[in-house]
Structure 1
Amino acid sequence: MIHFHEVSKLFNDGAKEIEALKDINLTIEKGDIFGVIGFSGAGKSTLLRIVNLLEYPTSGTVIVEGRNLVALSNKELREAKKNIGMVFQHFNLLNSKTVFHNIAMPLLLSKKGKEEIKNRVDELLHFVGLEDKAESYPDQLSGGQKQRVGIARALATNPSILLCDEATSALDPQTTTSILQLLKRINKKYNITILMITHEMEVIKQICNNVAVMENGRIVESGQIINIFANPETETTRNFIRSVIRDEIPETVYKLLSEKDKFSRIFKIDFLGLSTGQPLVSRVAKMFDVQINILYGNITELQNIPFGNLIVELIGDNREIDRALKFIHDQKVKVTEVTVNGSKYGAHFESFVGNALHG
């Protein structure tokens, strides 16, 4: 559907060249909801704007629906762009026009008939839940309502691709959730491919199937969201994940552990899929001569798959603890020893947690 091959983009500010994108290789499949996340200046906005040629690549190729847009004539390009809708961070609505006319604008520019325009706009107003706002003006709307108008406008020409440029960053959390739910409905009902950029991992967590992490103009990590969350490879990705799923011992608990006289071994146990429902802690306590102190834990959902972690203290003989760890490892659950007081003791067991999806 969308394929970037060795794409680079240089900007020249007069004094020096800035390499906004560096050798980007990325494929977004038809019907996917794909997220691109990165901090400010990572290059994600430039990447998005290259898809509909708001920015032209300096080198490399971008194939959209089997066509290299750069190679098209102006007429062909105008037609191709009708298949690419765009939703903006700050809505970009015309304040002098009603909601109806804002949504109708792409159809008016395409010189569609009056009846066709009315039918399409009415359909979209109903779909985004703004039937009673047709004659209102943008200044009379809330932020969430404005973004719904922006989404409806982007859908006016029946595009096959929807680009979302930080579409929820100007909204409060509750409104953000409602907009993301609307985008999910759009993806499901119309099978529209959605490419969204954001600096909020919560957005990625709620809506995306796949994600690419950008840093300094490069993609440093990409893949299915469940795998990225379970096995982040870069510190940048880990930092984003920690913003929505805390997997570290709270400072107060850490301080308490540091002050203990007795020997402690601390472990983080990650659960994914079917393993989340296992009574693992109680089984370990019954089967082995160890005491288990649960220090911290949480659980969330990724693509309807449970995902979470526990941070536990195991107290007992080292050999018995190692036996317990071997048992946890054999259940296809990832367990990692945590450093306390500058020391890390015993064996380090890990397994590919994706296996936990199958028990």
Structure 2
Amino acid sequence: MIEFHEVHKSYESGGATIEALKGVTLNVHRGDIFGVIGLSGAGKSTLLRTVNRLEQPTSGRVIVDGNDLSVLSVKHLRSLKKNIGMIFQQFNLLSTKTVFENVAMPLRLGTTSHKEIQERVGELLSFVGLTEKAQSYPNQLSGGQKQRVGIARALATNPSILLSDEATSALDPQTTASILELLTRVNEEYNVTILMITHEMNVIKEVCNRVAVMEQGAVVEQGNVLEVFANPQTETARHFVKSVVRDDIPSSVYKLLEANQGRSKILHIRFIGESSGQPMLSQVAKRFASDVHVLFGNITELQGVPFGNLIVELQGSEREIARAYQYILQQNVTVKEIS
């Protein structure tokens, strides 16, 4: 659906060359909600804006629905861009236009009839839950309502691709959750592929099925969300994952462990899917002469799949700890020895 092939983007600033994108290669599949995450300055917005040609790559290719944007005529590019909607962090609504007029604007720029405009805008305002706000002005709306108008406007021309540029970063947590729920409905009910950029890993966790992690203009990690959360390969990805799913031992627990003079082994155990519901630790306690102490634990849900972290301490003789450890390794879990 969207393909990035070795995309580079450079700027000249103060006599120096700034590389905003460094050979980015990604594939966004039809039906994805694909998230791109990174810190400020990582190149996320620049990458997103190459899809609708608000940014022209210095080199490399961006292919949208089989069309190489670098070789399209102005006429064909204009036609293709009608198939790409975009929502913005700061909403970008016209303050002098009503909600209805803001949503209708992309249609009025074309050849859509008055009747079709009335029907389409009415449908979209109903979809985003703002039918009663049709004649209101942006300054009469909350932040969440403004973003709903932005989403409705982006969908006006019935696009198959929606670009989301930090669409929830200006919203409070409760409103963010409602907007993410709405975007999920857009994806499912209108069959729209969504490419979103964010610096919030919780956004990735809630709605995305695939994710790419960017750092200093390059993609340092990518994969499906469950894989990246379960086994982040880079320090940047680990940093973002920990912002949502904590998996380290609290310092207060470390102090308690320092006082323990017996033999012990500390393990970090990750459970995914069905293994999250298995009574593994109770089996360890029954089968082996080893005490099991849970030092830390949590469980969350990713794409409908349970995902949990446990940090446990095994105490006992060296032989029994080794036997218990081997048993845990044979279960359907990921195990990392901490000490």
Per-residue displacement from partner, 1:181-223 (whole Å, max 9, x unpaired)? Answer: 1000010011110000000000000000000000011000001
How is 1:33-112 mapped onto 2 (pairs within 5 angstroms)? 33-112=33-112
Residue type at the aligned position of 1:231 = N
- Aligned to 1:51, the other structure's residue is in SS state coil
Shift of residue 261, structure 1, vs aligned partner: 3.2
Distance in 1 (alpha carbons) for counterparts of 2:324 and 2:49: 52
Distance in 1 (alpha carbons) for counterparts of 2:11 and 2:29: 29
Shift of residue 251, structure 1, vs aligned partner: 1.5
Aligned to 2:22: 22
Aligned to 2:333: 333
- Aligned to 1:262, the other structure's residue is in SS state coil
Of 104-113 and 84-93, deviating more is 104-113
Of 68-77 and 78-87, deviating more is 68-77
Aligned to 2:254: 254
- Aligned to 1:195, the other structure's residue is in SS state strand
Distance in 2 (alpha carbons) for counterparts of 1:70 and 1:121: 33
Aligned to 2:234: 234
Distance in 2 (alpha carbons) for counterparts of 1:99 and 1:186: 19
Residue type at the aligned position of 2:212 = A
Distance in 2 (alpha carbons) for counterparts of 1:190 and 1:96: 29
Aligned to 1:158: 158
Q: Please tell me whether residue 187 in structure 1 is matched to residue 187 in structure 2.
A: yes
Aligned to 2:305: 305
The answer to whether the 8 Å contact 2:263/2:318 transfers is: no
Distance in 1 (alpha carbons) for counterparts of 2:66 and 2:219: 23
Residue type at the aligned position of 1:129 = G
Shift of residue 263, structure 1, vs aligned partner: 3.6
Shift of residue 78, structure 1, vs aligned partner: 1.0
Aligned to 2:32: 32
- Aligned to 1:245, the other structure's residue is in SS state coil
Distance in 1 (alpha carbons) for counterparts of 2:32 and 2:160: 11
Shift of residue 14, structure 1, vs aligned partner: 3.4
Per-residue displacement from partner, 1:85-112 (whole Å, max 9, x unpaired)? Answer: 0000010001111000000010011132
Q: Please tell me whether residue 271 in structure 1 is matched to residue 271 in structure 2.
A: yes
Show structure 1 runs of 5+ residues with no match. 339-343, 345-359
- Aligned to 1:292, the other structure's residue is in SS state strand
Tell me the percent identity: 64
Distance in 2 (alpha carbons) for counterparts of 1:83 and 1:279: 50
Aligned to 1:316: 316
Per-residue displacement from partner, 1:242-286 (whole Å, max 9, x unpaired)? Answer: 000000011211222223333432111110001001001101100
Aligned to 2:197: 197
Residue type at the aligned position of 1:254 = Y
RMSD: 0.9
How is 1:104-143 mapped onto 2 (pairs within 5 angstroms)? 104-143=104-143
Distance in 2 (alpha carbons) for counterparts of 1:284 and 1:147: 51
- Aligned to 1:93, the other structure's residue is in SS state coil
Residue type at the aligned position of 1:217 = G
**TM-score relative to the length of structure 2:** 0.98
Residue type at the aligned position of 2:95 = N
Aligned to 1:13: 13
Per-residue displacement from partner, 1:55-83 (whole Å, max 9, x unpaired)? Answer: 00100101000001221111111110000
The answer to whether the 8 Å contact 2:87/2:167 transfers is: yes
Aligned to 2:144: 144
**TM-score relative to the length of structure 1:** 0.93
Residue type at the aligned position of 2:262 = K
Distance in 2 (alpha carbons) for counterparts of 1:113 and 1:122: 14
Aligned to 1:349: none
- Aligned to 1:327, the other structure's residue is in SS state helix
Shift of residue 336, structure 1, vs aligned partner: 1.2
Aligned to 1:351: none
Shift of residue 136, structure 1, vs aligned partner: 0.5
- Aligned to 1:275, the other structure's residue is in SS state helix
Shift of residue 122, structure 1, vs aligned partner: 0.3
